[in-house]
Structure 1
Amino acid sequence: MSMFFNPKLVPRLPNGFHSRSLLPQIRVVVRLLSESYSTDRCVQDRESYTVSYLINSCGLTAKEALNSSRKLHFRSAEKPDSVIAFLRSHGFTNAQISNCARTHAELLVYNPSKVLLPKFNFFHSLGISNDELPQFVSTNWKVILISLDKGMLPLHKFLKDEFNLDDKKIALCIKKSAWYSGKDMLSSLAANISLLRELNVRELSLLHLVCNVINILLAKPARFKEFVNKVIDMGFVPQKLTFVQALCMFSGTSNSMWEVKVGIYREYGFSENEFQMAFKLHPLCIGLSEKTLRLKMDFLVKKMGLKPADIARMPTVLLYNFEKRIIPRCSVIEMLRSKGLLKKEVSISTIAYPSDKCFIDKFITMNCETLPQLLCILQGKSIIPNVKSSVSLLDS
């Protein structure tokens, strides 16, 4: 002790206390700092081990492993090894397991026999075969996070009682609802369906919502009612399919994205009335991505010379497959026009709407001797220069 402390050299404190009396407090601070450093070092070691495991055992990149390691930590490979072994025994590929580690790494420390196996057995009972299970789960790993007793089983009973769906369709509904983490999922679903039934929405439309976009029906009832009222205020009739389509677009599109989409229509010359006309005729026209909407508008307005009013009267043209239907047919019309074989201008509805047989009978059969390449153009085997660039853009 004399090497570190000499009482004669320690000054008196103003209050009369000897500074030696501070030694216990100093020792406590030193110990706390030491423990803190030790804890930080342990955390760093644990994180380092987790990152290394995710890279070496799950095939993640260093950046992916670092991001995933924020969701879980482990000091040994026992738990994640058991999960990976369990998944492989059920037919999951290395790529699917890597996807799990990348998007829902927390599943790697679940208890396979207590958490995973009961849910896998439940999916099997709904008709998901052993071969189908890996694809079924890996396309939305969140489905594993749903509680079996509090989520899956009650939802299964509700959908069976209300809509008499078969088990396999119910399994898909459960997977699509996996994004929802609230405790009142079932009460929200029941309340929103009840509201639509009060408005006399057709049962077929309700089935469409439940089977294809059930997430819309899981919104908080007050919020869902706002969407419903907004759609009604726009003039949509609840008994028609367009009502359900408009409801899907409103509830699935943020206000900011809605403004972006409307802005694109304006860029191509749509007036407010023309946009409203297009949306009321086919609400799904607002659901196209920004890139796809711009490319299709470029082709129709700039290359084909259509006016916004033409598209507004038939917004379905935006939803057809451009590569296989619209561009080949427009190419045929452009070829006929360039050769002076069109007696009058052709509307976009006449181009896009008819079946392949009707289109061939109307535009190709009577001109096949003069222009034998027309059928190849329609089949996409040959594209005229005026539209070739549009095809490459839409394929990208």
Structure 2
Amino acid sequence: MVQYLVSKCGLSPAAAAKAAPRFAHLDSASRPDAALAFLRSQGLTRAQVREVVSWKPELLLSDVDATLDPKFRAVRALGLGRADVARLFALYPPALTYGIHTNLLPRVLFWIDFLGSAKLLMKWLAKTWLLRYSVDALLRNLSTLRSLGVQQSRITTTVRMQPTLITQTPARFQKLVGRVEACGVPPSSGMYMWAFFALHNVSEGSFRAKKAAVVGAAGCTEEEFDAMFRRAPCLVFVPAALLRRKVEFLMAEAGCDATHIVTNPVLLTLSLGKRMAPRCRVVEALRSRGVGIGKKANLGSVMRYPEDKFVERYVLRYKEEVPELLELYPPRLCKGSSQTR
């Protein structure tokens, strides 16, 4: 049977040797042959068959008519094409062991409905085994958010970005809800789900380190950092050391005080090397040539300008008077401009 699993199914010799004892009772290979023939008839490639058999070799002992065929038919009946059905079972082989009406169809239908398409389900199945989670557990987590008053549209938008937001155990999910609440983000806020998303991806220890970096560099309070997080949750995706450097740059080079940074936390999400520093050099060059562009404290606002607006207003407008602007803010940084003159 080892040779059979290697030659027919593509398993490695080691994997085949480990699986072979499960077939010791067979007098012939007729049942495995039938299962393999069926899987291939459904469009599974050799690589996909290997994935399925590697996960659970006993699937080769399944009765085609009673077990395998009904599952393929059931998923196709949802409107998925032959290739998509083959890919679904290859991406998540455990689905071949599910009861059709108890687990398989409810889980597939839930995710197609929530994500909006079978295509998106396939995209996420390639990254994580979404179908392993019971629909009841997923609905409990969604119910928790709805009971807090979070708008369904906001839940849907964020979960489509990262479905694993709702695949946590109820206990871990409640803990995450508590972390968002501790930061003072109200469920009615448009930022609630973004805060939820951010804290799902940033550990408590990492969050504390980033808070300490900003508080230490800006001299603000922890409460002010929480206020910054409420306005721009994505700032916690920036490494702590880089957050500190950005605060120091804004205060030393851009002339921003702590209050300006606290009330404009989106500044800390901007690239230091590709946006803040080059724009600061442009403004300094203009000022050194006597071009009136406002007070230094306004540099914080200049950093936030959309790319087109900044290029048009500060680079292209003055490139004849200050030709070095195109060196300070090279074309690769100006590619978003509507003009190329």
Q: Is contact 2:19-2:57 (8 Å) kept?
A: no
Q: 1:148: which partner in 2?
A: 100
Out of 222, 227, 237, the position equivalent to 2:186 is 237
Q: CA deviation at 1:263?
A: 1.4
Q: CA deviation at 1:333?
A: 1.6
Q: 2:339: which partner in 1?
A: none
After superposition, residues 278-289 of structure 1 pair within 5 angstroms as 278-286=228-236, 288=237
Distance 1:299 1:86 in 2: 60
- Cα pair distance change 1:339/1:201, threshold 3 Å: closer
Q: Is contact 2:191-2:230 (8 Å) kept?
A: yes
Amino acid at match of 2:314: F
Q: CA deviation at 1:280?
A: 1.6
Q: 2:223: which partner in 1?
A: 273
Amino acid at match of 1:280: R
1:293 partnered with 2:239: yes
Q: Is contact 1:236-1:242 (8 Å) kept?
A: yes
Q: Is contact 2:124-2:130 (8 Å) kept?
A: no
Distance 1:229 1:301 in 2: 28
Out of 323, 336, 347, the position equivalent to 2:282 is 336
| Aligned length, in residue pairs | 310
Amino acid at match of 1:376: P
1:260 partnered with 2:206: yes
Q: CA deviation at 1:378?
A: 0.9
Q: Is contact 2:307-2:334 (8 Å) kept?
A: no
In the superposition, the TM-score normalised over structure 2's length comes to 0.64
Out of 55, 59, 64, the position equivalent to 1:106 is 55
Q: Is contact 2:319-2:326 (8 Å) kept?
A: yes
- Cα pair distance change 1:191/1:232, threshold 3 Å: same
Q: 1:350: which partner in 2?
A: 302
- Cα pair distance change 1:120/1:69, threshold 3 Å: farther
- Cα pair distance change 1:302/1:75, threshold 3 Å: farther
Q: Is contact 1:279-1:285 (8 Å) kept?
A: yes
Distance 2:70 2:181 in 1: 44
1:292-325 Cα offsets, whole Å, 9 max, x none, are 62575476357776789566544445656x5xxx
Q: CA deviation at 1:109?
A: 3.5
Q: 1:196: which partner in 2?
A: 145
Q: Is contact 2:89-2:95 (8 Å) kept?
A: yes
Q: Is contact 2:141-2:166 (8 Å) kept?
A: yes
Q: Is contact 2:209-2:240 (8 Å) kept?
A: no
Distance 2:7 2:224 in 1: 54
Q: CA deviation at 1:276?
A: 1.5
Q: 1:359: which partner in 2?
A: 310
Q: Is contact 1:278-1:313 (8 Å) kept?
A: yes
Distance 1:337 1:209 in 2: 37
Q: CA deviation at 1:150?
A: 1.5
Q: Structure 1: 5+ residue runs without aligned partners?
A: 1-45, 381-396
Q: CA deviation at 1:259?
A: 0.5
Distance 1:95 1:315 in 2: 48
Q: Which moved more, 1:171-180 or 1:116-125?
A: 171-180
- Cα pair distance change 1:97/1:285, threshold 3 Å: farther
- Cα pair distance change 1:298/1:275, threshold 3 Å: closer
Distance 2:262 2:198 in 1: 17
1:186 partnered with 2:135: yes
Among all aligned residue pairs of Structure 1 and Structure 2, give the percentage whose two residues are the same amino acid: 19
Q: Structure 2: 5+ residue runs without aligned partners?
A: 336-341
Distance 1:364 1:150 in 2: 63
Q: 2:195: which partner in 1?
A: 246
Q: Is contact 1:278-1:315 (8 Å) kept?
A: yes
After superposition, residues 160-179 of structure 1 pair within 5 angstroms as 168=118, 171=121, 175=125, 178-179=129-130
Amino acid at match of 1:148: I
- Cα pair distance change 1:154/1:93, threshold 3 Å: closer
Amino acid at match of 1:378: L
- Cα pair distance change 1:115/1:354, threshold 3 Å: farther
1:360-390 Cα offsets, whole Å, 9 max, x none, are 222222133223444514158xxxxxxxxxx
Q: Is contact 1:126-1:167 (8 Å) kept?
A: no
In the superposition, the TM-score normalised over structure 1's length comes to 0.57
Q: 1:208: which partner in 2?
A: 157
Q: CA deviation at 1:202?
A: 1.1
